[in-house]
Amino acid sequence: MSINILLIISIALISFSAFSNSLLFSKFTFKPYIIRNNNEWYRFISSAWLHADYMHLFVNLFVLFSFGNYLEHYFNLHFDNLSTKLYLSMFLGSTIIAHLPGYINHKSNYNYQAVGASGGVSGVLFAYILINPLSMLELYLFIPIPAILFGVLYIWYSYYMSKKNIDNIGHEAHIFGAIGGIAIITLIKPDVLISFFNQLAKAFTL
């Protein structure tokens, strides 16, 4: 079984368990104040295995399934035996990077907390976009849109909503998770950046 499928199953199982287990939920939640004062650094990662509700869980797992399987295959094609480690590094690294602004801004705020795999999922999604910027994604499942345009709209919307601050969604985590995914895939395989710009250049010269 692929590592992405195992990742999805583990996130689903722990998230479902935490819905009815407040102690588990509290122990795994990303809480900068607790992290700083109790040195519970594992929360940078464990919080990705929790979700606020069923819809939050479904959306993250759907996106992870849609793009994670491709990325795992991509790593397997180019790196063979290292593919599992590289894919996990992508997901976990993006998750950690996504939490950095939350930690920096709220490490003295006892009430701040966050959950969800969105940071790692954003990293996987944007690694895919960097590899295949001109592929067509289906917005709302039926509106075709180039991956690169989707990425631009995603970042713009996340930035706009982070400034509005009218909901409980960690939009900054989405942005930094995306940055993490781009940075990590570039470190792993630097020529994806060259390929990305070459694909865009060809598209604009047609």
pLDDT tens digit sequence for 66-82: 999 999 999 999 998 89
Domain that holds residue 159: 3-205
CATH number of the domain enclosing 157:
1.20.1540.10
Least confident residue range of 56-60, 104-108, 137-141, 144-148: 137-141
Total number of residues shown for the chain: 206
CB atoms within 10 A of CB 48: 30
> At residue 195, does pLDDT exceed 70?
yes
> Considering all CA atoms of the chain, what is the largest pairwise distance in Å, rounded to the nearest integer?
58
Beta-bridged to residue 143, according to DSSP, are: 139
Structure tokens at 110: 């006892």
Note the pLDDT of residue 167. Answer: 57
Note the pLDDT of residue 169. Answer: 64
Question: Tokens 């409980």 belong to which residue?
Answer: 168
Domains: count for the chain: 1
Question: In sequence order, what are the residues at sequence separation of 6 or more whose Cβ sits closer than 8 angstroms to the Cβ of residue 98?
Answer: 118, 119, 120, 122, 123, 170, 173, 174, 176, 177, 180
